[in-house]
């Protein structure tokens, strides 16, 4: 008996059945919560901060009138964190890929991901100890005679950026390392033979060919950085207030649930715009 030939439509139906559990999971735990948040953002504030009818755009008006400066600060802090992680992470990833032995590369990667073995909250509290008025940095500077009184390092935007860079730097290093590990360094040798110096070879050859890793790293750093609230709360205080802190405050105590939902929707829109920009930028570089 001849074997039955599977048609294209049957292949397609089988693929849909295989993807159905994942689609149901995404719809139930991703799309449905987003729709609920969007609906709540269009409602009015009731007693105790709950969401009640009628529908209104007042919460979005408050977001862009009262809290616009906080949104701007959050975007700038996230962009600055991403830029610093890129500047520090690319050379580190390159250094790791140039190790001659597999053990050397694996050990360097182990050191990069080692902080993940400790709770993020504990690591953030450690920075409070380091940057405090009687912390390690101030004591070292005082003992060296470089300052006469402790510096105010804690509860500043500097402390927030430092904590974010420390926390998210591995998210930049790992994607860039993946791109650099596939990069053929003979291209650089060929460029040098044709008269290009190291700087020109990097900008014209290495960076464009490893741009997918750079884009992925920027996305992985920017998205959590703009929505952070633990680092900005513990290291920045009132001076490091970001949109994540505002959202968290609106959902606790007698806050304003519709306002918190509106802030969440606006933050998600910023993230979507960033993703579209980076995706377009990446396509042009391919």
Q: List the alpha helices (DSSP H) in the chain.
A: 8-26, 32-41, 58-65, 68-97, 102-113, 120-131, 136-143, 157-181, 186-193, 198-201, 207-209, 211-226, 230-231, 243-250, 257-285
Q: What is the mean pLDDT of residues 8-20?
A: 73
CB atoms within 10 A of CB 195: 7
* Lowest-pLDDT choice from 128-132, 222-226, 270-274: 270-274
Taking residues 220-233, report their average pLDDT. 91
Tens of pLDDT, residue by residue over 41-59, are 999 998 888 889 899 999 9
Task: Quickly count: other Cβ atoms within 10 Å of residue 100's Cβ.
Answer: 7
Q: In terms of pLDDT, which residue wins out, 286 or 119?
A: 119
Q: Which domains, ranges and CATH numbers included, belong to the chain?
A: 1-41 (no CATH), 59-285 (1.10.3720.10)
Contact 273, 257 (CB under 8 A): no
The predicted structure's pLDDT at residue 282: 54
Q: Read off the pTM.
A: 0.87
pLDDT in tens, 23-40: 899 889 989 999 999 999
Helix H or strand E segment including 217: helix 211-226
The confidence score (pLDDT) of residue 11 equals 65
> What are the distances in angstroms from CA 136 to CA 133, 158, 176, 280?
9, 16, 32, 44
**pLDDT for res 192:** 87
Tell me how crowded residue 247 is: count the other CB atoms within 10 A of its CB.
Answer: 21
Cα torsion through 251, 256, 262, 268, rounded to 10: -20
CA atoms within 13 A on the CB side of 176: 28
Confidence of residue 276 (pLDDT cuts 50, 70, 90): confident
What 8-state DSSP symbol labels residue 144? T
Pair of tokens at residue 272: 């979507």
Whether residue 263 is predicted with pLDDT greater than 70 in this model: the reply is: yes
Collapsed DSSP state (helix, strand, coil) of residue 102: helix
Whether the predicted pLDDT of 286 surpasses 50: no
Q: Given a cut of 80, is residue 10 above it in pLDDT? A: no
Token pair 């290093």 in the structure block, residue: 173
Residues 71-96 have pLDDT tens digits of 999 999 999 999 999 999 999 999 99
């Amino acid at each position: 008996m001849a074997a039955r030939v599977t048609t294209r439509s049957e292949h397609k139906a089988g693929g849909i059945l295989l993807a159905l559990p994942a689609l149901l999971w995404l719809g139930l735990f991703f799309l449905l919560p987003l729709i609920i948040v969007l609906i709540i953002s269009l409602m009015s504030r009731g007693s105790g901060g709950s969401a009640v009818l009628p529908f209104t755009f007042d919460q979005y008006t408050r977001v862009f009138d009262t809290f616009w400066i906080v949104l701007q600060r959050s975007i700038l802090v996230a962009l600055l964190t991403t830029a610093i992680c890129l500047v520090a992470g690319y050379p580190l990833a390159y250094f790791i890929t140039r190790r001659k032995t597999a053990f050397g590369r694996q050990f360097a990667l182990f050191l990069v991901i080692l902080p993940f073995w400790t709770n993020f909250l504990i690591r953030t509290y450690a920075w409070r100890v380091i940057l405090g008025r009687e912390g390690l940095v101030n004591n070292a500077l005082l003992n060296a005679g470089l300052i006469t009184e402790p510096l105010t390092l804690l509860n500043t935007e500097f402390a927030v950026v430092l904590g974010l860079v420390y926390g998210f730097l591995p998210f930049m290093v790992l994607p860039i390392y993946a791109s650099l590990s596939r990069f053929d360094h003979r291209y650089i040798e060929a460029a040098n033979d044709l008269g290009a110096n190291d700087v020109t070879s990097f900008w014209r050859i290495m960076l464009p060919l490893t741009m997918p890793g750079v884009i992925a790293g920027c996305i992985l750093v920017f998205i959590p950085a703009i929505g952070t609230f633990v680092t900005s709360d513990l290291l920045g205080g009132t001076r490091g207030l970001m949109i994540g802190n505002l959202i968290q405050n609106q959902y606790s105590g007698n806050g304003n649930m519709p306002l918190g939902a509106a802030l969440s929707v606006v933050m998600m829109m910023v993230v979507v715009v960033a993703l579209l920009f980076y995706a377009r930028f990446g396509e042009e570089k391919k």
